[in-house]
């Protein structure tokens, strides 16, 4: 790089930074830094983050935290049709219809539930972003073809799409993740493409072109990084929907049939049959799903507020 090249690069960096519209009094702080500052002051964000971190820690240390083996059947002698033992010494939340310790199953189940959410979201985001970059970077007919395809995917209600894919791929945890991931693809593709198009038309991209910077450099060095914030927000929100959707697919009998891996969605749908006998069997896994989904939603919404220049006042 010659000195001239450096100058150009610095000039574009300046322009790109300004495109983030840093408000007065926060000058000098990068977008991420100032977003982080606002997040730390936002009680909603803190609540969401605490929920998410606690559940992630539980999932990480599940084998250590679970007081009992989640697969062993205890108290079998006390289980009769119409009666399932409730809370007692050694079983704080009672046992399920097969006599397995509910608390341990919830703790160990967090692994599988979060894993499904994270993997399917990452997968969906990766494919969606690839499509979005393709459309947003090249424009023209590539854009048209990709976007028509995305429109077709969007015209299928998400659960119906997930059902079709699950039926096609059979019942195992990977099929479940792929099915959910596919429903996320069109959202990410559209989002990234839209935000890249907006960035491409912005003044700093125009200025960079006027300075004779290569297109690939503009797209990957400036347009793409600046277009990522809506994608990050969407990914956080998608984690919540993915976990809920996994529960729905489990309920429809399209979940992971491997009994050795407890999972909240499967626990919840399994417990529906015993709702009038021991509603707790359904309520606890449902609460776990709701709280985790809420955590991701709170975090995502406050991220959106923090990253959106409109809110940066």
Partner 1 sequence: MLRFIVRRLLQLIPILLGLSVLLFAWLRALPGGPAQAALGERATPEAIARYNELFGLDQPLYVQYLRFLGRAVQLDFGNSSRTGRPVIEEFLERMPGTIELTVFAMVFAIGLGIPLGYLAARRHGSWLDSASVIGSLLGVAIPVFFLAYLLRLLFAVELGWLPGSGRQEVRIDATRITNFYVLDGLLTREWDAAWDAFLHLVLPGIALGTIPLAIIVRITRASVLDVVNEDYVRTANAKGLATSTVRRRHILRNALLPVSTTIGLQTGLLLSGAVLTETVFAFGGVGSAIFDSIFARDFAVLQGFILMLAVVYVLVNLLVDISYGLLDPRVRVR
What is the binding site for partner 1 (CB under 8 A)? Answer: 148-149, 151-152, 155-160, 163-164, 167-168, 170, 240, 244, 247-248, 251-254, 265, 268-269, 272, 275-276, 279, 282, 286, 289-291, 293-294, 297-298, 301
Distance CA 100, CA 270 (A): 13
Residues 6 or more apart whose Cβ sits within 8 Å of residue 111? 59, 62
List the alpha helices (DSSP H) in the chain. Answer: 3-19, 31-41, 43-60, 62-65, 102-138, 140-154, 158-169, 173-200, 203-210, 215-218, 224-251, 264-271, 280-307
Q: Would you say 15 or 147 has its CB closer to partner 1? A: 147
Q: Would you say 83 or 272 has its CB closer to partner 1? A: 272
- Least Å distance, CB 115 to partner 1, is 18
Distance CA 60, CA 181 (A): 23
| CA angle centred on 152, ends 149 and 158, rounded to 5° | 120
Question: Got the DSSP string for 122-135?
Answer: HHHHHHHHHHHHHH
Helix/strand/coil for 195: helix
Distance CA 117, CA 112 (A): 9
Q: Would you say 13 or 301 has its CB closer to partner 1? A: 301
- Least Å distance, CB 71 to partner 1, is 24
Residues 6 or more apart whose Cβ sits within 8 Å of residue 141? none
- Least Å distance, CB 92 to partner 1, is 22
Q: What helix, strand, coil percent values describe the chain, rounded to 5?
A: 75, 0, 25
Q: Would you say 106 or 247 has its CB closer to partner 1? A: 247
Distance CA 94, CA 84 (A): 8
Distance CA 212, CA 274 (A): 69
- Least Å distance, CB 70 to partner 1, is 21
Q: Would you say 65 or 290 has its CB closer to partner 1? A: 290
Q: Would you say 91 or 284 has its CB closer to partner 1? A: 284
| CA angle centred on 199, ends 198 and 200, rounded to 5° | 90
- R_g (Cα) of the chain, nearest Å: 24
Q: Would you say 71 or 156 has its CB closer to partner 1? A: 156
- Least Å distance, CB 300 to partner 1, is 11
Q: Would you say 74 or 251 has its CB closer to partner 1? A: 251
Query: In the structure encoding, which two tokens stand for residue 250, read together?
Result: 């489990």
Beta bridge partners of 83: 80
């Amino acid at each position: 790089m010659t000195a001239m090249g450096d100058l150009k690069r610095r000039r574009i960096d300046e322009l790109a930074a300004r495109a983030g519209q840093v408000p007065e009094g926060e000058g000098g702080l990068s977008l991420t830094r100032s977003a982080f500052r606002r997040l730390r002051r936002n009680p909603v964000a803190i609540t969401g983050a605490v929920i998410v971190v606690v559940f992630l820690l539980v999932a990480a240390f599940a084998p250590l935290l679970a007081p009992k083996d989640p697969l062993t059947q205890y108290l079998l002698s006390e289980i009769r049709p119409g009666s399932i033992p409730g809370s007692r010494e050694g079983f704080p939340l009672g046992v399920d219809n097969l006599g397995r310790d509910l608390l341990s199953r919830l703790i160990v189940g967090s692994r599988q539930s979060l894993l499904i959410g994270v993997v399917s979201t990452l997968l969906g985001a990766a494919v969606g972003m690839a499509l979005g970059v393709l459309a947003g970077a090249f424009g023209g007919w590539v854009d048209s073809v990709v976007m028509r395809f995305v429109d077709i995917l969007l015209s299928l209600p998400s659960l119906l799409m997930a059902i079709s894919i699950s039926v096609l791929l059979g019942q195992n945890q990977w099929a479940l993740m792929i099915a959910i991931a596919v429903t996320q693809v069109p959202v990410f593709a559209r989002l990234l493409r839209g935000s890249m198009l907006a960035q491409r038309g912005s003044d700093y991209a125009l200025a960079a072109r006027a300075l004779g910077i290569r297109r690939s450099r503009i797209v990957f060095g400036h347009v793409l990084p600046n277009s990522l914030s809506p994608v990050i927000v969407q990914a956080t929100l998608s984690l919540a929907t993915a976990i809920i959707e996994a529960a729905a697919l489990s309920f429809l009998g399209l979940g992971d049939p491997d009994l050795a891996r407890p999972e909240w969605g499967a626990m919840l749908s399994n417990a529906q049959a015993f709702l009038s006998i021991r509603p707790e069997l359904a309520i606890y896994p449902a609460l776990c799903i709701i709280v985790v989904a809420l955590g991701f939603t709170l975090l995502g919404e406050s991220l959106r507020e923090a990253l959106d220049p409109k809110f940066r006042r």
